[in-house]
Structure 1
Amino acid sequence: MATLDKDLLAIQEMRDAVKHANTAQAAYMQFSQQQVDNIVKAVADAAFKEADRLAKMAVQETGMGIPNHKKMKNEVASRDVYEDIKELKTVGIVGYDRIKKVAEIASPFGVIAGIVPTTNPTSTAIFKTLISLKTRNGLVLSPHPYAVKCTKEALDVCRVAAEKAGAPEGLLQCLTMSSMEATQQLMKHPDIHLILATGGGALVKAAYSSGKPAYGVGPGNVPAYIEKSANIQKSVRQLVQSKSFDNGTICATEQALIVDRVIAEQVQSELKKNGAYLLNAEEKAKMEKLISPVPGKVNPQIVGKSATCLADSVGITVPEDTKVLVGLETMIGKNIPFSLEKLSPIFALYIVENSTEAKQVMIDLLNIGGRGHSCSIHTENAALAEQFSVELPVSRIVVNTLSSIGAVGGTTGLAPSFTLGCGTFGGNITSDNITARHLLNIKRMAYGIKDVEVPKPEFEVQSVVESVVSQEPALDTTMVQQIVDQVLKQITLQNK
C-alpha cells in the first residue's frame, strides 16, 4: 500500500478541522450570553489550573524560555484575559443609544484561523481560545512546527473544559502535522473568516496576502530610554528583570538601552549589581557572530536561551548568576547584530548626549525593525514622556515599568493580550492590543429620527426646445408634435 504524502495528510486534516469547526460554530451562534460566559469561565479556570504543567511542556519541547516565567504568561493569558473580557457583551443587542435610536447588535465572524508562535506557544493558544469562545467564533489553531505538542495540549485543556460546560463538540481544533502548505491553505480556505496571526514577518505577510480579513502583528525591536531624571536603581532593576523574563521571548521585550551620558556610569554600575555582564570589545565581537551569522538575520538558535548558555556557546566566561549580556554599541543597521531584535537576554547599550539624540536613536532602531510596536521610557519628566509618545512611531509607550509584561497588560492598564497590533507604522490594520472586541461584527439597527422633504426634480422647457432646434437634419412635423406632447406632459406632472 502506498504511503500518503505528509502534506496531503496535513491538508486533509486541515480541511476536516475547518469543516467540524464550522458545523459546531453554526450551533454555537444560538447560545445565550449566559451560556457563552459559563463556557469562557470554565475554560479560563481550567487553563489557569494547568498553567505550570503547560509551561514545563513548552520549555521541554521548544528549548526556549524559563518554566516559571512561562507559567506566569499562561496565568495572564487565562486569568487576566478572563477578568478583562468577562463583562463584555457579545450576544444580541450589546448597546443602545436612546437619543439617536441606534441599537448595536453583536455577530460573530465565524471560524478563525489562529497562528501560534514558538516563543509563546501555550499562552497564545489559551488567549486565542478565550477571545474566540467569548465572541461565539470557532477556532482552528496552527502551531509552530517546533511547538505542536504543547500547543495542542493547551488547546485540549481548553476544549475539554469548554465541552464539559456545554460547548458544541468540534468548535476548537488544532492542526498536528506541522505543514507549511497546510497552514497556507488554511489561511485561504473559503470557510475561514478571519486570520489571527502571531509570528514572524513572513507569516504575517502571508496572512495579509491571503485575501482574508487578518489581524497580523509585526516584529518588535523595543528601544528603552533611561532619561537623566529617572530613578536609576529602580529603572535598571526593572530593565534587567524584563529582559531576562522568559529569556527575552516576548516581542515587547526591550532590545536596546539608550542612556543619557551624565548617568551612563551609574547605569552601568547598577547593571552589574543586577546581574548584567558588560562585554568587552573582543567578547562583543564573538557575540555578534552568534547573534547574526548571516548579515541582517538573527540566529534562531539564540532565541529564548539563557545568558550563561549564550556566553558558554562562544567561550565567554561569565558569573553563574548572569541574567543579561550587554554590548556597548554606536551603530544601527540591519548588518549591526546588536541593533536587531534578538529575542534573547542580550542588550545593546547606546550612550547619548541628550533627549534629542535619544529620540533619534530610538527612531533609527525602530526603522530597521519594530516600527509600530512598542517603546519603553524611564523618566520622572512627564512632559518628556508625553512628547516622546506623540512623536515616536509606536503603538505602545510604557513608562517606568517592564515593557515585556507591561505592553501585554501585565503591569499596566492596557488590555491583556498576546497579539499586539502595530498600526500602519508597522503595516498592520490596528494599533490595539487585540482582544475579544476585535472578533465581532457590530450590526446597527437605526430608526428614523428626522423628517426630510425631498424636493421635486426641476424641469426646464428651454433645454428641451434647444435640443429640438439643434437636431440636424430638420425634424419632421410628427416628431416635433411628439416632443411638444412630452413637454406638456412633464409640465402637467410637475404642477400636480
Structure 2
Amino acid sequence: MDISSQEIEAIVKQVLAGMGGAQTSAAPAAYTAAPGGAAGDRGVFENVDDAVEAAWKAQRDWAANYKIEDRQRIIEAIRRCARAHVEEWCHKIVEETGMGRYEDKVEKHLAVINKTPGPECLTTEAKSGDAGLMLEEYAPFGVICSITPTTNPTETIINNTISMIAGGNTVVFNVHPRAKRVSADCLQTLNTAIIEAGGPANLITMTREPTMENVDKMAANPKIRLMAGTGGMGMVNALLRSGKKCIGAGAGNPPVIVDETADIELAGRKIYEGASFDNNILCFAEKEVFAVNTAYDGLLHELQKQGAYLLNKAQTEQLVNIVLQPKKGGGHEVNKKWVGKDAARILETIGVHVPDTCRLAICEVPADHPFVLVEQMMPVLPIVRCQSFEQAVEDAVVAEHGNRHTASIFSKDVDHMTRFARVIETTIYVKNSATKAGVGIGGEGHCTMTIAGPTGEGITCAKSFCRRRRCMLAEGGLRII
C-alpha cells in the first residue's frame, strides 16, 4: 500500500504530518476528543510514553486475569460495536481522507469485523511419548506498536485489535495523520465497548498527534516487544531498522494474466469489480493486466460492457502527466492528489465526462509504460497485449517488482496457473476471481488488512502476533500407556 516510499524514507526521522498529500476538511465536532492528559481519553493520549505505559499495565492485567473465554467474549463485543458504527466510520473516512468509495468501505469493514479470527486460531500442539509430554502454545509478545495506513485506517485498527488482543497482547497505534480523527473515534469507541464487556481499559491506545518521532520512541522503548506496520516499503524498511521483532506489510503492484483459455466474460466482470473496488487504493487490487493476443480484444469489450471507459492514446498520455509526476532520479511516481479518487473525477481533468456509475478507466499501453510500472492506487487500469502466455508471465514478473504481494490469473489451463504461481511467488495468488477474494472479501478464508509479505507472515491472524512457547514434562510424566 505504498503511496510514496521514497518520500517516507526521506523523512523517517520527521513528523509524518509533513508528508503532504490531499487536503482535508476541518474536523467536525464528532471527531474532536476531550483533552485527556496522562490519564488518557478512552485510549487517546497526548504523550507516547503515557500511551505505552497504559498499554503495558493493561497487558499485565489482560494476560494475568483474563481467560481465553474472556478474550472471546470481549472480541464479540468489539465485533458488535464495530458493526453498529460501520456506516458512520465509512462516511468519516471518505470525508477526512478524500479517498475511496463509501459503499466499498462498508464491505471492507464487514469483512474484517466478521472474518478476522479470534483466539480460536491459537491451536495447541501436543506430543506424548516415552520421554514425556510436550506442549507448544501461542503466547503473547506483550505490547505491540502498530502503524496503520490512510488507505484502510479503521479497517486496520479493527483487524489488528481483534488479532492482537486475541493473542493476549495490547496495542499502541500510530495512525496515519490524514486519518487521525476517524481513527481516534474508532479506537475510543472500541475501548468503550471493551470496558462495558468487562475488559480492562487501554487494551488499545494511540497518541492524539501521530508522528514518526513517536514510532522512533516506541522502537526504543523496552516495553514495546513487537513492531507491526501496514503501509509502504519505506515504512517497513524503517521498522526493520528498529532492531525489534517486526511484522511488515508493504507495497504491491498486482499483475493479472488473461490467457487464451480464459472465460473472457468472467475475466472482464471480475477484473472490473476488483480494480474499481474502493477506487483501487487497496495494495492487493489489480493494478495492470497482461492479456494474450487471442483474448485481448474480447477482454476490452467485456470491460467496456461492465462500464469501463477506454482511453485513446492521446488521452492516456494526457492522464499520465496529471496523475503521475517525475520522480527524483528518473521515472515516475504517483501524484498523491489523485490517489483513491473516483474515475469520473479523474477523467474530467482531460475533458472526458462520464456518469458516476463509471468506476474504471482502461487504457492500451506497452509493458514498459509508467501506468504499468508505478503502483497508482487509483481506478486507471492499463492493459498490455502479449503475443504469448510466456511473454505475459515475463512482463508480469517485471511489473510486480519482486514485492511478492499479490497476483492473479484467468485461465482454464492448470499448467499455466501452476507455472505463473511458481514464478511470481506472491503471498496472495488468485485464480479466476477478483484479487480481493484472496483476503476473504468474496472468497474463502479469513480476512486481514495486514498482509505481511516482506517479513513472511502472510495473511496475518492472532497467531502471527504470538510467540511459540514449549512446555516439557519429562520422564514419561502423565503417560498412561
TM-score w.r.t. the length of structure 2 is: 0.85
The residue number in structure 1 matching 2:358 is: 322
1:359 corresponds, among 393, 397, 406, to: 393
Aligned residue type for 2:347: A
Q: Unmatched 5+ residue regions in structure 2?
A: 1-14, 17-36, 38-43, 477-481
Which range moved further: 9-18 or 150-159?
Answer: 9-18
Matched, 1:159 2:191: yes
Q: Spell out the pairing of 1:449-488 with structure 2 (5 A cutoff).
A: none
- The answer to whether 1:37 aligns with 2:72 is yes
Aligned to 1:297, which of 321, 333, 342? Answer: 333
Provide the residue aligned with 1:227 in structure 2: 259
Q: Which residue of 1 aligns with 2:268?
A: 236
Instruction: With a CA cutoff of 8 Å and minimum separation of 6, indicate the structure with the bigger relative contact order.
Output: 2
The aligned residue for residue 490 of structure 1 is none
Shift of 1:317: 3.5
Cα shift readout 1:229-262 (whole Å, capped 9, x = no counterpart) = 1111111111101111111111000000111101
In the alignment, what sits opposite 2:348? 312
* Rg larger for: 1
Q: Which residue of 2 aligns with 1:341?
A: 375
Match of 1:88 among 118, 121, 128: 121
Q: Which amino acid aligns with 1:19?
A: E
1:204-223 matches, within 5 Å, as 204-223=236-255
Report which stretch shifted further, 178-187 or 197-206: 178-187
Among residues 286, 289, 297, which one is paired with 2:318 in the alignment? 286
Distance in 2 between residues matched to 1:21 and 1:384, nearest whole Å: 49
1:246 to 261, 268, 278: 278
Residue in 2 aligned with 1:482?
Answer: none
Q: Structure 2 CA distance, aligned partners of 1:37 and 1:243?
A: 35
Query: Offset at 1:49?
Result: 2.0
Change over 3 Å in CA distance of 1:17–1:87 after alignment to 2: same
1:291 positional shift = 2.5
Deviation track 1:257-309 (CA, whole Å, cap 9, x = no partner) reads 11110121111111111111111111011111123212331111111101111
Q: CA deviation at 1:218?
A: 1.7
1:46-65 equivalences under 5 Å are 46-65=81-100
Contact kept? 2:82, 2:113, Cα under 8 Å: yes
Equivalent position to 2:133, from 69, 83, 101:
101
Q: Kindly state the Cα deviation for residue 329 of structure 1 after the two structures are TM-superposed.
A: 1.3
Partner of 2:422: 390
What is the one-letter code of the residue matched to 2:441?
G
Alpha-carbon offset, residue 63 of structure 1: 0.6
Q: Number of residues paired by the alignment?
A: 429
The DSSP-based 3-state class of the residue aligned with 2:333 is: coil
What's the CA shift for 1:163?
A: 1.2
Q: Give the match for residue 452 of structure 2.
A: 421
| Counterpart secondary structure, 1:173 | strand
Name the counterpart of 2:438.
407
Contact 2:267–2:299 under 8 Å retained in 1: no
In the superposition, relative to structure 1, how do residues 32 and 86 fare at CA in structure 2: closer, same or farther (>3 Å)? closer
- What is the TM-score normalised by the length of structure 1? 0.83
CA RMSD of aligned residues (A): 2.1
Shift of 1:319: 4.7
Residue 411 of structure 1 deviates from its aligned partner by: 2.7
**Which of residues 458, 461, 470 is equivalent to 1:444?**
470
Question: CA 1:362–1:449 in 2, change beyond 3 Å: closer, same or farther?
Answer: farther
> Equivalent residues in 2 for 1:141-220 (5 A)?
141-220=173-252
Range with bigger deviation, 377-386 or 55-64: 377-386
Q: Distance in 1 between matches of 2:356 and 2:455?
A: 44
1:25 aligns with 2:56: no
1:176-218 alpha-carbon deviations (Å, 9 max, x no partner): 2132322332233221111110011211111111111110112
Query: Shift of residue 161 of structure 1?
Result: 1.0
For 1:51 and 1:245, how far apart are their aligned partners in 2? 17
Q: Is the 8 A contact 2:411 2:431 kept in 1?
A: yes
What percent of counterpart residues are identical?
25
- 1:327 and 1:338 in contact (8 A); partners too: no
Deviation, 1:44, is 1.4
Does the 8 A contact of 1:363 with 1:393 survive in 2?
A: no
In the alignment, which of 172, 182, 186 is matched to residue 140 of structure 1? Answer: 172
Partner of 1:491 in structure 2? none
Q: What is the letter of the counterpart of residue 433 of structure 1?
A: I
